[in-house]
Amino acid sequence: MIEDILPTPVVAVETRTDIDDLFPEEAELVARAVDKRKREFATARWCAHKALADLGHAPAPILRGPKNEPLWPTGVVGALTHCDGYRAAAVAPATTITGLGIDAEPHEQLPAGTLKLIARPEEIPMLSALASQHPATHWDKVLFSAKESVYKVWYPLAHRWLDFQDATLHFDPQTRTFEAELHQPGLVVGGVQVTRLNGRFAVEDGLVVTAVVIAG
């Protein structure tokens, strides 16, 4: 599912079955976590290991940085995601892809009160219009997932926090694409300030999946 919204240079692996196969260094990172967190962590790492192997990388632990972001091998960009019943990883050579973010969420309405925390005022009318035109889709959850993917692209490049309110998203349901207008400076690619990002989304099999890719 996730590979359908990613370009060819990106290798993606997904699963709906949990797999416990960690390097000792990885297991130490979640040694004190609850079982649910351990399963999510282990299976997402398994997806990442398989994706890296498909790129030709030797097996190695994937540790994490100060914001719990995965630390990829030199020359690789990537992202992980997990939600109830689904885990995935996507990786690509840094020579062809500069930034990569993916996210998956259950396709259901956001909890009460959450939308006002993640949506900017100008996004509310857009969501209402989309819900009227395509009522089978929970557009609030699509918005949430897309902003998660935007953040996963932003942080490894900008090394700064990006809040939900720091980007305005515009969706095209016909092409299953979206554009993110960034309201915070800090994302620089090739010496150029980036103010807009483009992504894709899909809604099927009870899931929302989103992806944002910056080509190299």
Digit-coded pLDDT (tens) for 149-188: 999 999 999 999 999 999 999 999 999 999 999 999 989 9
Q: Are strands 196-204 and 207-215 parallel, antiparallel or unpaired?
A: antiparallel
Q: How far apart are CA 127 and CA 140, in angstroms?
A: 7
What's the pTM? 0.95
The 8 Å CB, 24+ separation contacts for 195-202 are: 197/150, 197/153, 197/167, 199/101, 199/146, 199/149, 199/150, 200/5, 200/6, 200/176, 201/5, 201/142, 201/145, 201/146, 201/171, 201/176, 201/177, 202/1, 202/4, 202/5, 202/176
On the question of pLDDT at 216 being above 90, the answer is no
Digit-coded pLDDT (tens) for 6-52: 998 999 999 999 999 899 999 999 999 999 999 999 999 999 999 99
Residue 55: per-residue pLDDT: 94
Domain 103-215 has CATH 1.10.3470: no
Cβ atoms of 155 and 69 closer than 8 Å: yes
Residue 62: band (very low, low, confident or very high) from pLDDT cuts 50, 70, 90:
very high
Residue 206: band (very low, low, confident or very high) from pLDDT cuts 50, 70, 90:
very high
Tell me whether the CATH fold assigned to 2-96 matches the one assigned to 103-215: yes
What residues does each domain of the chain span?
2-96, 103-215
Mean pLDDT of 197-211: 97
Residue 61: per-residue pLDDT: 96
Digit-coded pLDDT (tens) for 78-111: 999 999 999 999 999 999 999 999 999 999 999 9
Cβ atoms of 65 and 180 closer than 8 Å: no
Cβ atoms of 181 and 195 closer than 8 Å: yes
Q: What is the rounded (10 degree) CA torsion for 111, 113, 115, 119?
A: -150
Residue 70: per-residue pLDDT: 95
Cβ of 116: how many Cβ atoms within 10 Å?
A: 10
On the question of pLDDT at 194 being above 90, the answer is yes
On the question of pLDDT at 203 being above 90, the answer is yes
Superfamily of domain 2-96: 4'-phosphopantetheinyl transferase domain (3.90.470.20)
Residue 190: band (very low, low, confident or very high) from pLDDT cuts 50, 70, 90:
confident
